[in-house]
Structure 1
Amino acid sequence: MARTDAESLAGFLTGLSPETRRFSTFDGHDLAAARELCSAIARYDKLRLVLEEEASGGIVGLLEFSLSLPQNDVARYRKAGIHLDEGTDCRFGPTLADEHQGKGLATQVFPLICEVARRLGKRRIILWGGVLADNPRAIRYYEKNGFRTVGSFTGPDGQRSLDMILDIIPR
């Protein structure tokens, strides 16, 4: 990891609006958080893909996969009649820079997301931390890309979220 990688990622994180930060899964939105994300490469069960704008070289998105499934996710999905398995299922959480939201970028990269999951041997994707029920744009995006709602839950912060799952069509 180069020092400039963390600085570039910190620029992306600090540039997120309070609303986008509320919807993201990151523990922080500063240089320290960026350094932690960069230092965690190859250390955990996560895969992070960075979207860079060609013209500026700046980061405009961060797509995260987790190959482990926390027990609270497994239990919630089991209540909905869905058995999750780390061998076939993964968690996914995207974050886009505010100025790139609503312009089709996430839809454009969604086939890549599915391809990455397939290459990792996964057949289903669940949302990392669910999606906040008061985030209609994200819910619409997930539904448009084939996710279906399987239940709802109240997070530790007291906010209602939806669990959604996508069956990946094999190639």
Structure 2
Amino acid sequence: MDTASKFNGASGRIAFVQARWHEEIVDRARVGFAGEIAALDFDDDQVDYFTVPGAFELPLHAQRLAESGRYAAVVCAALVVDGGIYRHEFVASTVLDGLMRVQLDTGVPVCSVVLAPHHFQVRPEHVEFFGRHFVEKGVEAARACAVTVASLTALQLQPVAGGAADM
């Protein structure tokens, strides 16, 4: 499937939004994403990169970007950690629910690299492990983004069964 051709023009841009909390780890998702999107023959100038303070700010930014009409897809990345209180699961769930709502409300795909590990601690071995994991998830997000936009574009080009008008 020629996914790169599906991103031509202003509406063919991708927005990548990442949280600043634990930026040394979350930034690895951007690195993985950028490397893979380039391997899929996308130009780096087709991707706009944004940062927000934390995961909680992702859905609103994703919504504004999706509603702008400038982006074929939005990718969001964050690390939500257990800081010793039972809060991180609520934050992660709220963020993911918000991102899902954005894509369903706008019709613009939103790919997520929002992770909430159970036992993360700011120790070298955890930072190294999750840094590698975020690279992998960034690669997966690039692939999912490209395939999803291409398949949605193909759906728009296919006639609806029974001769009905466009969806």
* Normalised TM-score (structure 1): 0.30
Higher normalized contact order (CA 8 Å, seq sep 6+, divided by chain length): 2
**Higher Cα Rg, which structure:** 2
